[in-house]
Structure 1
Amino acid sequence: MASLKISSFISSVAVSSAVLFIIVLLQNCKVVHSFNVATHESGLRFFLSSVARPNEINKIPSLPEDEPPTFFGYNILFHRARFGGGVNLITGSPKRMNPANPRSQHLGPERYNSSKTQGSMNACVIPRSVFVREDSHRMCQELHPENTEPGDGVGLSFAINRQGHTVTCPYPRPKDCDTSRYNPGFCFLGSRGGKRWSGIQQNVNFDCPVNGLDIVFVLDGSQSIGGENFEKVKEWVLQVIERFNIDTGANRVGVIQYSHFYEGWGLDDQPFIKTEIALGEVRKFEQLRQHLTEVSLQNYTTYTAHALNKTVMDFEDSGRLFDPSTKQVLILLTDGISTDKEYLPYSAKYVRSFGIQTYAVGVADAVQSELRTIATGNVMSNERVYQVGDFSDLADIVERLQGDIIENALEGFHSRSDSNKLSMAQSGFSSTYGKRMVIYQFLTYICDWICVKMFDHQIISRYVLC
């Protein structure tokens, strides 16, 4: 008897839960009459790109053979007007060549270029009947912002909220700046479900960011280098600096040569840890070339740790060490063992504590563990470490070194200031208004089975909108 009462209680709870679920569902969901984008032996039905044209044989709209695809239907969402009105299927055509000419992908004498597409969005009215078999084919209305440019790819990502506020975020518009490739992301803003556009979001800067770069070369001037090889080192310095365009004034360069250290003398008084070119002293590349020709090899020992300490002083004297819009880079080149190697970990850490990014270039017999200590402090990592077998091979690392500096110092390096850490970010690539509308597909299988049996269609999609 007790078990019967328990079973009855459980059954009543289950029924009550099911009824409650249905009530909640009806309160929060609006059923959009199901539709299908169906394939049939006679072609595609219901929603068609504006590029589609009637076939000469059976009059069924289709994409002409000579027309490149627009990627119509790449991305979809539903939009129902807040106050009355029907429900639209909003879809993207990110490969639309020119939305002002929706009937063709070709622009007069110009041919289609997939990397230069402006893109577009489309609004397609959803039929109100579930099982409507229409012989007519619905064309979709073009929705595209003004002021789009080739390469934007509008329709790749977009969102519309219940009030009709619309946002679509195209591809970033890349620019080649002096020291980097800038990718300013942005979004177009609109209303009425994309039928009216107000322009590009505010506070978008399409100009190259003003980021200064201070580079100091710290060159080993010990006897083991040799005069002939030192000339190769100076030529290598010029090759690196030429890639960073110091003529604009945003980027500056300095050169320190080091060898011996005299105990009891201050760093400013050391004759063999010498600032050959003060940071920012030379503002033109040809002047830098002339100054370097006058620098001769010191021919002494290798006090690398003390040279690193001297470098911090030069950065401080430059006046931009604590400027958040300027990044500091130190490039040290050596070919052997440091005379003061016991101080090297402390000096290298001291340099990095100022947010100065260090690169270590070793030639011939340079000690790898010392190079790693200078670059990052991690003796197990080769990050920002370069090694070549001979001075003649220095030219082989110029391009890699430039790329490393741009990637780390200008785009992703975490210094003492975070004010510029997102200046190179590709913001605006994706868009959303949050989870106000959820698509439920729990009726899909039943509806699909009925539609297939009744109309012999292959169902692609069907939704209930909540």
Structure 2
Amino acid sequence: MWCSASVDILFLLDGSYSIGRGSFERSKHFAGKLCDALDIHPGRVRVGMVQFSSAPHLEFSLDSYLTKQEVKERIKRTAFRGGSTETGRALKYILRKGFPGGRNLTVPKILIIISDGKSQGSTTVPAMQVKERGTTVFAVGIKFPRWEELHAVASEPTEQHVLFAGDASDAANGLYSALSSSVCSVTTPGNRSPACLPLTPLL
């Protein structure tokens, strides 16, 4: 599906040493491929990215790039930072800063965490607080993930919000379709224009 609704999407990318450079590049590739299923435009889908390891780092805000090509090129240029896996600290950053460059509370917020789920500290409380603020959280496992943590941070039902990006050539077409379809389903009802349109398979 092609998501063309008004929605703010923030990628939270694990850039820790437990992920490593190779899996970090696959995470970036996954994020870029997902952007192919999003109608990135200032009035429709906005995308931003935070990389986290020992500390969170804002790579680009949601109002930095206005086209799909710009967003994908910026994702490709994101450099691996390394450090420990402080997912809880990254979620607290989201609680403090919100979605940098995002719109008002009427626009749905979607947080997509791409991680191995091997956090050094607790993620339960900050993840719950993020979700209580109305943010939909997807957890995408990379490398050899710790599934119990990914299930704990993701929104309910977890079978729709916890995914696996794989350790080889990333996820297949069906994973992108499932994620982008779920992204569309959380947008506000009653949109006059269709939120989701058919998408040709991602190669």
TM-score bucket of the superposed structures, by smaller chain: 0.7 to 0.9
- 5 Å-filtered alignment, 1:197-276, equals 211-247=5-41, 249-260=43-54, 272-276=55-59
RMSD: 2.4
CA distance in 2, matches of 1:388, 1:214: 22
Match in the other structure for 1:331: 112
Match in the other structure for 1:403: 181
Match in the other structure for 1:288: 71
1:376 offset after TM fit, Å? 2.6
Return the TM-score normalized by structure 2: 0.83
2:42–2:63: 8 Å Cα contact kept in structure 1?
no
**Shift in alpha-carbon separation, 1:368–1:332, aligned structure 2, 3 A:** same
Matching of residue 350 in structure 1 with residue 129 in structure 2: yes
**Which residue identity is paired with 2:98?**
F
1:315 offset after TM fit, Å? 3.1
1:233–1:391: 8 Å Cα contact kept in structure 2?
no
What runs of 5+ residues in structure 1 fail to find an aligned partner? Answer: 1-175, 181-210, 261-271, 411-419, 426-466
Q: Which secondary structure does the structure 2 equivalent of 1:361 belong to?
A: strand
Larger RCO: Structure 1 or Structure 2 (Cα < 8 Å, ≥ 6 residues apart)?
2
Q: Which secondary structure does the structure 2 equivalent of 1:349 belong to?
A: helix
CA distance in 2, matches of 1:424, 1:286: 26
**Which residue identity is paired with 1:179?**
C
Larger Rg: 1
2:12–2:114: 8 Å Cα contact kept in structure 1?
yes
Aligned length: 191
**Shift in alpha-carbon separation, 1:321–1:308, aligned structure 2, 3 A:** farther
Q: Which secondary structure does the structure 1 equivalent of 2:27 belong to?
A: helix
**Shift in alpha-carbon separation, 1:295–1:369, aligned structure 2, 3 A:** same
Matching of residue 179 in structure 1 with residue 17 in structure 2: no
Return the TM-score normalized by structure 1: 0.38
**Shift in alpha-carbon separation, 1:220–1:391, aligned structure 2, 3 A:** farther
- Of residues 373, 382, 386, the one that matches 2:152 is 373
Q: Which secondary structure does the structure 2 equivalent of 1:246 belong to?
A: coil
Match in the other structure for 2:121: 340
**Shift in alpha-carbon separation, 1:384–1:247, aligned structure 2, 3 A:** same
1:239 offset after TM fit, Å? 0.9
CA distance in 2, matches of 1:404, 1:390: 23
Q: Which secondary structure does the structure 2 equivalent of 1:249 belong to?
A: coil
What runs of 5+ residues in structure 2 fail to find an aligned partner? Answer: 193-203
Match in the other structure for 1:279: 62
1:319 offset after TM fit, Å? 4.9
Q: Give the structure with the higher percent helix.
A: 2
**Which residue identity is paired with 1:384?**
H
Paired-residue identity, %: 26
